[in-house]
């Protein structure tokens, strides 16, 4: 069986196999999972070749390193599958942004509130911006009241990450989903 080294695939830290294992002695686990004991690497490699399998380094940091006699291609396939599954389970949170004006109507407010609640329930962070146009900037208290109302309406599913703050012509607020118990 020839060496199946690091020439193919996208793994950055692929385990060493066969002739790439450069230590004198290794602890060997058989294909059935039984411990075969500590032996010289060349003897373990010959056992693997006799079984028409590969010697793969499973735990390189141990003393002596632990190797297993298995099919290297199948082992890499299983590793890739586990990696993909772990990536799928990772929840990528996104920042969603909703913009308001200081003179928003009640129906428009309710529609945007429903969107904010959906985003929070999906686990996303939400940035809410109130835009002041022209002379509206003189009535910042309207934007403040709007954001306080939003905080009150979403307090059951969110908590405030950054409170209302003026940034130029915008007053912003950040909400994050509340932890589920």
The CATH number assigned to the domain holding 66 equals: 3.10.20.80
Starting at the earlier edge strand, list the strands of the sheet with 158-167: 95-101, 125-131, 170-177, 158-167
67, 21 contact by CB (below 8 A): yes
Q: What CATH code is carried by the domain that includes residue 173?
A: 3.30.110.10
Cα–Cα dist 162/173, whole Å:
6
Q: Give the residue, 42 or 2, on which the prediction is more confident.
A: 42
Structural domain contains residue 12: no
Residue 176 token pair = 């994050």
Confidence of residue 11 (pLDDT cuts 50, 70, 90): low
CA 28 from chain center: how many Å? 34
Cα–Cα dist 124/127, whole Å:
10
Range of the domain at 171: 95-177
Contacts 24+ apart (CB under 8 A), 64-67: 64/23, 64/25, 64/26, 64/27, 64/38, 65/21, 65/23, 65/26, 65/27, 66/26, 66/27, 66/28, 66/29, 67/21, 67/26, 67/27, 67/28, 67/29
Q: Give pLDDT tens digits for 28-71.
A: 999 999 999 999 999 999 999 999 999 999 999 999 999 999 99
Q: Say whether pLDDT at 10 is over 80.
A: no
Confidence of residue 12 (pLDDT cuts 50, 70, 90): low
Burial of 33 (C-beta count, 10 Å sphere; 0-12/13-18/19+): exposed
Cα–Cα dist 98/118, whole Å:
12
Structural domain contains residue 6: no
Share of the chain above pLDDT 90, in %: 76
In 3-state terms, what secondary structure has residue 129? strand
Q: Say whether pLDDT at 7 is over 50.
A: no
Residues 100 and 172 in one domain: yes
Share of the chain above pLDDT 70, in %: 91
Residue 35 token pair = 């411990």
Confidence of residue 9 (pLDDT cuts 50, 70, 90): very low
Q: What is the pLDDT of residue 91?
A: 65
For all residues of the chain together, what is the average pLDDT? 89
Residues 160 and 114 in one domain: yes
């Amino acid at each position: 069986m020839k060496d199946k080294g690091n020439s193919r695939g996208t793994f950055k830290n692929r385990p060493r196999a066969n002739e790439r294992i450069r230590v004198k002695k290794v602890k060997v686990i058989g294909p059935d999972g039984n411990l075969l004991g500590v032996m010289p690497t060349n003897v373990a490699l010959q056992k693997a070749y006799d079984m028409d399998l590969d010697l793969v380094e499973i735990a390189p940091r141990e003393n002596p390193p632990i190797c297993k006699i298995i099919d290297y291609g199948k082992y890499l396939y299983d590793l890739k599958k586990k990696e993909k599954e772990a990536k799928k389970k990772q929840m990528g949170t996104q920042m969603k942004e909703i913009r308001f004006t200081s003179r928003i109507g009640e129906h428009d407010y309710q529609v945007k509130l429903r969107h904010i609640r959906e985003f929070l329930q999906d686990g996303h962070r939400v940035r809410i911006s109130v835009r002041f146009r022209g002379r509206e900037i003189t009535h910042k208290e309207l934007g403040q009241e709007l954001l306080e109302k939003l905080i009150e309406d979403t307090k059951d599913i969110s908590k405030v990450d950054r409170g209302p703050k003026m940034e130029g012509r915008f007053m912003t607020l950040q909400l994050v989903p509340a932890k589920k118990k």
